[in-house]
Chain A
Amino acid sequence: SQTIHQWPATLVQPVGSPLSLECTVEGTSNPNLYWYRQAAGRGLQLLFYSVGIGQISSEVPQNLSASRPQDRQFILSSKKLLLSDSGFYLCAWTGQVNSPLHFGNGTRLTVT
């Protein structure tokens, strides 16, 4: 069966520090991968999506970047965090177009 792992679960980082959040999927190949951000009490904002290794599409220009070094690995990064980067980050995957997304448990990032 397919599983998705996202870590860490919580993270507190100072302003100006770098960020690396990792997401891996098991039990499937060539998944479509997504990074979403959720502000407190709000909906999900799509940040990045990837249809294959090295293929990244950005939805919102910002302080973040994403990479897909392996088929089932998706990394969200920042060189210098801003206070506004605080939020709940969710990784998700789907195997087929128009199929439901499967989400990880999220990372709660607090930038201080």
Chain B
Amino acid sequence: SQQGEEDPQALSIQEGENATMNCSYKTSINNLQWYRQNSGRGLVHLILIRSNEREKHSGRLRVTLDTSKKSSSLLITASRAADTASYFCATVARMDSSYKLIFGSGTRLLVRP
């Protein structure tokens, strides 16, 4: 089963509005990462938040982490049409001598101009 699950599955907003996406996970984590994927392309890393951090900012992005609720949120402020993409959260699971990222099913964001 997926470690991370995002909601909503799809979000449509007007340019200039804020977009909030949520992610829930099941097991304890070392960190949680958010990625963006433009249609038909690979994923691009946006931001990493460690388990001992509660909030992190990067430009128009704000990520929060609540380890007691096993949840995270990604806020994009003052959205632009170019923010249209799918957004995924991912958590790290240890496997043998390595680590793997487990991805959620993503939130498809549409920003209408």
User: What is A's interface to B at a CB cutoff of 8 Å?
Assistant: 6, 32, 34, 36, 41-44, 46, 49, 51, 57, 59, 88, 90, 92, 97-98, 100-106, 108
- CB < 8 Å neighbour of A101 from B96, B101, B105, B108: B101
Question: Which residues from chain A contact B31 at a C-beta distance below 8 Å?
Answer: 98
- In the complex with contacts A49-B95, A57-B95, A100-B33, A43-B45 CB distance below 8 A: no
B30 within 8 A of A: yes
Alpha-carbon separation in the docked complex, A44 to B104 (Å): 7
| B1 CB, min distance to chain A CBs, angstroms | 11
Query: Which of B35-43, B53-61, B67-75 has 4 or more CB atoms under 8 Å from chain A?
Result: B35-43
Q: Is the CB of A46 within 8 A of B42?
A: no
| B75 CB, min distance to chain A CBs, angstroms | 19
With both beta carbons as reference points, the residue of chain A lying nearest to B102 in the complex is identified as A46
B103 within 8 A of A: yes
Q: Is the CB of A106 within 8 A of B105?
A: no
Q: Is the CB of B102 within 8 A of A100?
A: no
- CB < 8 Å neighbour of B98 from A51, A101, A108: A51
B97 within 8 A of A: yes
Q: Is the CB of A100 within 8 A of B48?
A: yes
Interface residue SS majority, chain B: strand
Question: Which residues from chain A contact B100 at a C-beta distance below 8 Å?
Answer: 34, 46, 49, 59
- CB < 8 Å neighbour of B2 from A43, A104, A106, A108: A43
B13 within 8 A of A: no
11 A/B residue pairs, CB under 8 Å, sorted by A = A41-B108, A42-B106, A43-B103, A44-B88, A46-B102, A59-B100, A92-B43, A100-B48, A104-B42, A105-B42, A106-B42
Question: Which residues from chain B contact A102 at a C-beta distance below 8 Å?
Answer: 45
With both beta carbons as reference points, the residue of chain B lying nearest to A108 in the complex is identified as B40
Q: Which of B87-113 contact A (CB under 8 A)?
A: 88, 90, 92, 95-106, 108
B82 within 8 A of A: no
Question: Which residues from chain A contact B97 at a C-beta distance below 8 Å?
Answer: 51
Given contacts A34-B100, A49-B98, A101-B101, 16 further A-B contacts (CB under 8 A): A6-B42, A32-B98, A32-B99, A34-B101, A43-B2, A43-B103, A44-B88, A46-B102, A51-B97, A57-B95, A90-B43, A92-B42, A98-B30, A101-B45, A106-B40, A106-B42
